[in-house]
Structure 1
């Protein structure tokens, strides 16, 4: 049995395994704590085993540069997955804007997936976005992304960094994320702003009416009605968000590959 094992292929397999494992550590949906750790390790192992026979990788020399290659693979996997997570966080950012205007900002809940505090509306939008991602087989595209990353970033090469290219790319990506979050939140926030203006006029014209008692339930009712009306718009924006996420992942791979 030992004679059948090609020990010269072990260093390449470890590099492939490390990149995929680091990718799944930060990738949305795959990195959640509700997924058992043995399943993550097993899925990563068999996916790396399949990719080993399809990726055109030369023999990696086991010397002092091998540790640097391991660090490079960890960085590539972590950054690609983290980029996808950051862009998808635009949904929760938009929910945070809406919750602040609705008065739900004091009622943040613990997200069981990440263990961090999450706004109520943001968690609702985020669940819809994940279900939409699964319905269009977006998780297959994410796996395809890490597979085709070996065409742009081979395991035996290092990352060529250009001066300011990575910083400019990160700034542009954050800009796109906040623009989409603003587009998702502006219909609800705009409606609530008009409600605030109306309540302010009522408070000046009818001083006997306690607007603090009437305002909060009124704003919640208007928010739910606006969410129901603009829900189809959110699906379009989520589709654009996924397109932006896949494009940003591809551009980051081109940047790491020196293309």
Structure 2
């Protein structure tokens, strides 16, 4: 306890606290607005207190560069958490594709994490994905990610940006995200496309039938049946998305560490 009260340990603890707090500001699940702020602050404080004893801060000195170290720690935590959030937003993108084809694009709900509007189907898929994340202890892996980040990005080192490496990483990561979103959406979107083709044929062969009245409830019914049928495939794709997310977080930490 005396070591913690020692004034020389406060700057090191502050660096650890800034990285962990910035990480929890953007990472999925922990950054929800529905989680009370005192809980977030207390959890961040005690987790930083545990991680403080595992970090080598012997090279940390209070000088002109200490402020830049604080900014670097905040950037590292924000970017690692933001990457995880961006990767999981593939679920929202897939839901947007499905809602546009279903006719639900006009009806959105409020996402409790961002406060912005999100697709109905995307929010439904996202809640299932978060429940799946909790059931496989994925939130432990997220905490492990910020804990082991000090192995890749030391607390007393700055980020060595290499020419073109960060841009290549961003392009590759976004390609993977959109590919998984397309894989999630294509079964339901493909079924609804076939329904549109069938309605077009019916409109030409039976002009007396109002396809605009029949088409919307029919597409909603077909989409619900398709979602129920492809739900097992969706869980497999979400599992793949989580593995890609954790791999991307590790690659980003290696990139920031100069590896």
TM range, normalised to the smaller chain?
A: over 0.9
Q: Where does residue 57 of structure 1 map in the other structure? A: 57
Superposed counterparts of 1:90-169, under 5 Å: 90-169=90-169
Q: Where does residue 229 of structure 2 map in the other structure? A: 229
Query: Hey, what's the Cα distance between the residues in 1 that align with 2:134 and 2:160?
Result: 34
Query: Hey, what's the Cα distance between the residues in 1 that align with 2:148 and 2:56?
Result: 11
The alpha-carbon distance between structure 1 residues 62 and 4, as it changes in their structure 2 partners (threshold 3 A), is closer
The alpha-carbon distance between structure 1 residues 175 and 78, as it changes in their structure 2 partners (threshold 3 A), is same
Query: Hey, what's the Cα distance between the residues in 2 that align with 1:64 and 1:72?
Result: 14
The alpha-carbon distance between structure 1 residues 53 and 2, as it changes in their structure 2 partners (threshold 3 A), is closer
Q: Where does residue 212 of structure 2 map in the other structure? A: 212
Larger deviation, residues 181-190 vs 6-15: 6-15
- What's the RMSD between the two structures over aligned residues? 1.2
The number of residue pairs the alignment matches comes to: 259
Query: Hey, what's the Cα distance between the residues in 2 that align with 1:22 and 1:186?
Result: 35
User: Does the CA contact (< 8 Å) of 2:4 and 2:10 recur in 1?
Assistant: no
Quote how far apart the aligned CAs of 1:110 are.
1.3
Q: Where does residue 249 of structure 1 map in the other structure? A: 249
**Deviation per residue, 1:107-129 (Å, 9 max, x gap):** 01112332110100000000000
Q: Where does residue 76 of structure 2 map in the other structure? A: 76
Quote how far apart the aligned CAs of 1:217 are.
0.3
Quote how far apart the aligned CAs of 1:57 are.
2.8
**Deviation per residue, 1:37-61 (Å, 9 max, x gap):** 1110110000000001112332411
SS of alignment partner, residue 115 of structure 2: coil
The alpha-carbon distance between structure 1 residues 237 and 4, as it changes in their structure 2 partners (threshold 3 A), is closer
Query: Hey, what's the Cα distance between the residues in 1 that align with 2:173 and 2:49?
Result: 32
Q: Where does residue 67 of structure 2 map in the other structure? A: 67
Quote how far apart the aligned CAs of 1:3 are.
9.3
TM-score, structure 2 as length reference: 0.98
Q: Where does residue 48 of structure 2 map in the other structure? A: 48
The alpha-carbon distance between structure 1 residues 9 and 3, as it changes in their structure 2 partners (threshold 3 A), is closer
User: Does the CA contact (< 8 Å) of 1:20 and 1:48 recur in 2?
Assistant: yes
Query: Hey, what's the Cα distance between the residues in 2 that align with 1:165 and 1:176?
Result: 17
Query: Hey, what's the Cα distance between the residues in 1 that align with 2:107 and 2:148?
Result: 42
SS of alignment partner, residue 118 of structure 1: strand
TM-score, structure 1 as length reference: 0.98
User: Does the CA contact (< 8 Å) of 1:9 and 1:59 recur in 2?
Assistant: no
Query: Hey, what's the Cα distance between the residues in 1 that align with 2:137 and 2:191?
Result: 34
Query: Hey, what's the Cα distance between the residues in 2 that align with 1:202 and 1:116?
Result: 39
SS of alignment partner, residue 202 of structure 1: helix
Query: Hey, what's the Cα distance between the residues in 2 that align with 1:180 and 1:148?
Result: 27
Quote how far apart the aligned CAs of 1:192 are.
0.3
Query: Hey, what's the Cα distance between the residues in 2 that align with 1:188 and 1:211?
Result: 20
Larger deviation, residues 231-240 vs 59-68: 59-68
Consecutive unaligned residues of structure 1, counting only runs of 5 or more, are none
Q: Where does residue 5 of structure 2 map in the other structure? A: 5
